[in-house]
Structure 1
Amino acid sequence: MTKTVYRVCVELQVNNKVQLAAFEAGWVESRMNNLPCGDRDSVGVFQQRPSQGWGTVEQCRDVAYATASFLRRAIDADRKNPGYTAGHLAQAVQRSAFPERYDQVESTARSLIAEAERTVGSTGLGGPEMVLFRNGTIGTYAVQSDGNVYGRGQAAPGGLFGPWQQLSSQGGFVGRPSVVQFPDGTVSVYVRTGRGVILGTGNKGGPGSDFKPWQQTSPGGAMAVAGGPVVVLRSNGTLATYAVLADGSVNGMGQKVPGGDFDHSWQRLSEGGFVGRPSVVQFPDGTVSVYVRTGRGVILGTGNKGGPGSDFKPWQQTSPGGAMAVAGGPVVVLRSNGTLATYAVLADGSVNGMGQKAPGGDFDHSWQRLSDGGKFVGQPSVLQFADGSISIYVRGTDGGFWATGNKSGPGSDFKPWQPV
């Protein structure tokens, strides 16, 4: 129970105060137990009431879903009331008749967090975001424990990674960056802040040059984002951003002209219930498909009905739930044979993959286990090489980055995991 709550906090990259509020509320309401009943129609670890808009009974007793629901409201309360203690945030969400109880259990909640961190791993790092550069080298970008964005890369294809280079100094960043590589080899980097706005930067000159000052590219306030953004370069040269907002809905927005400002007006692509960072696939014809995890740990997907920029289809489930539920955001990639493959960390901390048997077909809903359990958290990063083989990079529970890849050609077995 405690580990599930902690894993959701890691996936959503909440700040320490919001995380503490969740553990205080869970301890006060249920002693961190998934209760089948309570006062009136209250159920679950947070004693959420279906009659008060928290979801169905099943959703309120789904610990991952219930935690994500609590965190979304706590994030909003923290943004509106930065001076609140963790207990105040818990009370703002729970609306208890005994508001003082939450701050009173702070020491217990901190002990629960410390124990979860020892068994699941530190939340210090966001990422990794891996990029295959046009010269064949690989770069990685991540948010470190000081809240700043860093990058590093290989000096030569297949070589060792160099030291981390600091790309920001103001701190306050959370989650996994999104990196766009342009035809000239330059890159832009986009990252969410703890305030729920997206900031972006890019090379001043050619590839490898210094980065420009960070600029805000999304609205805040009621339109703040709760999960990391994904920014993609569209076929017309403009950029589009996709993210889950604080209300749990998936939204998109973009530039009107290449190099222009983002329009700061989100287009709503779904109702609520989603968490984490989307995965976006762009096809050769310029259409896109978007895949996002729900609070119940299943992946839903949608895509353009017609050509690029057209309306999106109804969302469809593309992964199993229950014991096979995912704990981190999915990554979906377009393989060289035209089929899609999905990679994700499941609730047991293992990395798994599955795919379509034919282009445009259904996902087979049968995960292929690629690692032991208990070792990984968050959303994988996947690189596909010219020969169709892939490498997978994931954050470990030890705070480091780990990688594997096909032993030989596309579809072959994977090598043992190695630290990066």
Structure 2
Amino acid sequence: MKPCHVPPTHDPEVIKTVYRTGLRLKVSAKVMLAGFEAGWVESQMNNLPCGDRDSLGVFQQRPSQGWGTPEQIMNVSYAAEQFFVRAVRAERRFPTLTPGLTAQEVQRSAFPSRYDQQEAKARALLDEAARSVGEPGPRPESRVSVGVPSVVDTGKGMVVFGVDPAGGVTHRWQSGAGGAWSAWTPLGRPAPGAVGRPFPLVGRYGKLVVFVRGADGALWHTWQSEEGAWAPDWAPLGGRLASDPAVVLSPNGALSVFARDPGGRLTHTWQHGPEQGHRWNPTWADMEGNLQGRPTALIGRDGGMVVFTQGTDGQLHHRWQTGTGGPWSAWTPLGGRISDDPAVVLNPSGDLSVFALGPGGHVTHTWQRGAGHGHAWNPTWVDMGGDLGRHTAGVP
């Protein structure tokens, strides 16, 4: 890879040209945002004359891969049209994908989650371009969620949460296990607006708690009282988040939150135990690491928390507690070659199993080998095949 200087900020003319091209092609709001997410990730919205191998331009398109001649690719209008035409096809084929995953269908990056991670920055650039051009962009389609919805089973029925186009959180629920569904009902809006994917879970009273990342980068949450009434307002918990949160409920009834910070390290806050009234810790702890995407957290067989993440080296890494509230291990690699957030389950035998997206869109898998082997991790990963190209999910 030859040296390639990427300016620290965007080129105003580039964002206007990309925006005008999207308007001319009458792309949807999602495809327009996908273009800005891809442009920021690939070049910070600059028309680069260099890149990895023969990659060029705003979207780092390669002449050797059929994107056009070098001269064509260095024409921002041409490059944007090539991106948008392919993104429109992806949207028609996979209408439920997020803007970032729509961009991934075009770009075919080794790191599929990185486009959605830049949604807030892309929206800011999109707003700037619209103001500069003086023409409003495509309006968002009438839809409930701008990201991947989240679902939780309370034991009395399922509840689905999503983020609406205005940054509010909305939900609908079943009247009972297997029962009828309610209408979509707003759950309020964190002051700066919500982004990404809500994280709901059942708390210590058997009532729901919902966490979401705000557009300000802080963590926000709301909760049901013991009587089932929702809190009147969303409450901030601070922090500097660059990923959606992962939350676990410990055996002592305390909640713990993990996320990736802007520096690519794991950041963590928690409730103290019942002896301190389950109050939230006033600060966030730096748990180090070199992360991509969103961490995955769960409670292990001894009641301690275990956190897994995709490292910047493309391998799986993890840390764990020894028992509830116990000391944390150092970061330990588990190998593999993964390109997305891991999905992890705890089996009835007390063993952990990990699934992730591997090279070529295959699912790759590793696991602990049972009490007879001291719950040691399998020394290799198994290719489970498939042609996913998108997120995996594990269900115990």
* TM-score interval for Structure 1 and Structure 2 normalised by the shorter chain: 0.5 to 0.7
d(CA) in 2 for partners of 1:345 and 1:162?
35
Correspondence 1:267 to 2:285: yes
Q: 1:131 and 1:383 mapped to 2: Cα distance?
A: 12
* Structure 2 residue aligned with 1:281: 298
Unaligned runs of 5+ in 2: 1-32, 62-74, 100-144
- Quote the Cα distance in structure 2 between the aligned partners of 1:226 and 1:156: 36
Distance (whole Å) between structure 1 residues aligned to residue 194 and residue 201 of structure 2: 18
Counterpart contact for 1:23–1:113, Cα < 8 Å: no
* 2:187 maps to which of 137, 142, 167: 167
- Quote the offset at 1:197 in angstroms: 0.5
Please state how far the C-alpha of 1:350 moved relative to its aligned partner. Answer: 5.6
Aligned pairs for 1:4-23 within 5 A: 19-23=38-42
Aligned partner of 2:47 in structure 1 is 28
Q: CA deviation at 1:158?
A: 4.2
Read off the aligned partner of 2:348 and give its amino acid letter: S
> RMSD in angstroms over aligned alpha carbons?
3.6
Aligned pair partner of 2:207 in 181, 186, 194: 186
Instruction: Confirm or deny: 8 A CA contact 2:35 2:84 kept in the other structure.
Output: no
User: CA offsets per residue over residues 111-152 of structure 1, 9 Å max, x none?
Assistant: 5256346437432633333322123x2223233444332223
Aligned match of 1:196 in 187, 196, 217?
217
In the alignment, is the contact (CA less than 8 A) between 1:344 and 1:353 conserved in 2? Answer: yes
Deviation of 1:289 (Å):
1.0
Structure with the larger RCO, 1 or 2 (CA within 8 Å, 6+ apart) = 1
> Is residue 342 from structure 1 mapped to residue 357 from structure 2 by the alignment?
no
Give the distance between the partners of 1:182 and 1:110, measured in 2 at CA: 48
Which region of structure 1 is more displaced relative to structure 2, 334-343 or 162-171?
162-171
What residue is the counterpart of 1:312 in the other structure? 328
- 1:335 is displaced (CA, Å) by 1.1
CA–CA distance in structure 2, aligned partners of residues 177 and 155 of structure 1? 21
The CA deviation at 1:333 is: 1.4
Closer/same/farther in 2, CA of residues 314 and 25 from structure 1, 3 Å limit: same
Name stretches of at least 5 consecutive residues in structure 1 with no aligned partner.
1-13, 39-43, 47-103, 385-420
- Aligned-pair CA distance for 1:269: 1.7
User: What is the 5 A alignment of 1:346-357?
Assistant: 346=358, 348-349=360-361, 353-357=365-369
Contact 2:364 2:381 in 1 (8 A): no
1:112 aligned residue: 83
Q: Is the 8 A contact 1:232 1:241 kept in 2?
A: yes
| Cα distance in 2 between the residues matched to 1:250 and 1:145 | 28
| 8 A contact 1:191–1:198 mirrored in 2 | yes
Matches within 5 A, 1:188-267: 188-207=209-228, 209-219=229-239, 224-258=240-274, 260-267=278-285
Bigger Cα Rg: 2
The 1-side partners of 2:86 and 2:264 are apart by 29
User: In percent, how many aligned pairs have the same letter?
Assistant: 22
Matched residues in 2 for 1:159 and 1:348: separation?
40
Deviation per residue, 1:241-275 (Å, 9 max, x gap): 1111000001222123556542242222223x312
Query: Secondary structure of the equivalent of 1:155?
Result: coil
Distance in 2 separating the partners of 1:311 and 1:346: 32
Q: Secondary structure at the match of 1:309?
A: coil
Alpha-carbon shift at residue 36 of structure 1 (Å): 7.6
What's the TM-score once normalised by structure 2's chain length?
A: 0.63
In 1, Cα distance between equivalents of 2:227 and 2:270: 24
SS at match of 2:47: helix
**1:362 matched to 2:377:** yes
Instruction: Describe the shift of the 1:299–1:143 C-alpha distance in structure 2 as closer, same or farther (beyond 3 A).
Output: farther
Q: Secondary structure at the match of 2:170?
A: strand
Any conservation in 2 of the 1:27–1:109 contact (CA below 8 Å)?
no
Post-superposition CA distance 1:203-230 (Å, at most 9, x none) = 14534x33431010123xxxx1111111
User: AA paired with 1:278?
Assistant: P
Distance 2:165 2:226 in 1: 29
Q: Which residue, 98, 110, 126 being the options, matches 1:122?
A: 98
* Number of positions where the alignment pairs a residue of Structure 1 with one of Structure 2: 293
State the distance in 1 between where 2:263 and 2:82 align.
30
The whole-number CA distance in structure 2 between the counterparts of 1:22 and 1:113 is: 16
- Cα drift, residue 200 of structure 1: 0.3
Offset of 1:192 from its aligned partner? 0.5
Q: Deviations over 1:137-185 (max 9, x none)?
A: 2223233444332223333434565543322345732222222312432
With the length of structure 1 as denominator, give the TM-score of the two structures.
0.59
Residue 332 (1) aligns with residue 344 (2): yes
Question: Which amino acid in 1 is paired with 2:334?
Answer: T
Q: Distance in 2 between matches of 1:294 and 1:283?
A: 21
